[in-house]
Amino acid sequence: MVREKTKKLRGGGHYGRGWKAGRGGKGKRGGSGNAGMGGKHRWIWMLKYDRLHLGGKGGFVSHHRKAPENPINISKLNQLLQQLERDGYATRDGGDAVTVDLRAAGYTRLLGGAGVPEFRGGHIKVARATQKAINKLSNHGVTVEVDGGDSEE
């Protein structure tokens, strides 16, 4: 005669459930819901699958947003000069002299890190310019008109 499973498991105390709490009720679950998330037994699960459980990024949001910078350096200006002329942002003043309005073209800053100007003489209007760019251009006879007053170092 074959013994039934309950009869077979009697005396062991666990009835095939692993340990005493697993037999009935709610003992083997580790708590209900999100219990144990705050640094207890479900901490690693939370770090892996629910990073925002304890809140997202702190701080506050500034409602005074800065306009995005759109810089251009001298070598890029050399490359785009003909296109700027076609679009009406640059004009030739006879010979090599050029007048360029970088503000109207959407550029906010003139950098002097790369290249030397391929044009001699002229005038450039821009919101901000580095001192290096101003020095390079003035060595080639180009004046730089900066909106914000002073140039940066």
pLDDT bracket for residue 131 (50, 70, 90): very high
Q: Which residue has the higher pLDDT, 59 or 104?
A: 104
Query: CB-hemisphere CA count at 13 Å for 29?
Result: 8
Per DSSP, the three-state class of 88 is coil
- For the stretch 13-26, pLDDT in tens is 777 777 776 667 77
Q: For residues 136 and 124, what is the distance between their CA atoms, to the nearest angstrom?
A: 13
Alpha helices in the chain (DSSP H): 5-9, 43-49, 74-87, 102-105, 131-139
pLDDT bracket for residue 96 (50, 70, 90): confident
Q: For residues 145 and 138, what is the distance between their CA atoms, to the nearest angstrom?
A: 11
Does residue 153 carry a pLDDT above 50?
A: no
**Percent of the chain predicted with pLDDT > 90:** 24
Average pLDDT over the chain reads 84
**Percent of the chain predicted with pLDDT > 70:** 93
pLDDT of residue 149: 53
Q: For residues 86 and 92, what is the distance between their CA atoms, to the nearest angstrom?
A: 11
Domains in the chain with CATH codes: 1-54 (no CATH), 71-146 (3.100.10.10)
Q: For residues 148 and 10, what is the distance between their CA atoms, to the nearest angstrom?
A: 88
**What is the average per-residue pLDDT within 78-91?**
89
Q: Contact 42/35 with Cβ under 8 angstroms? A: yes
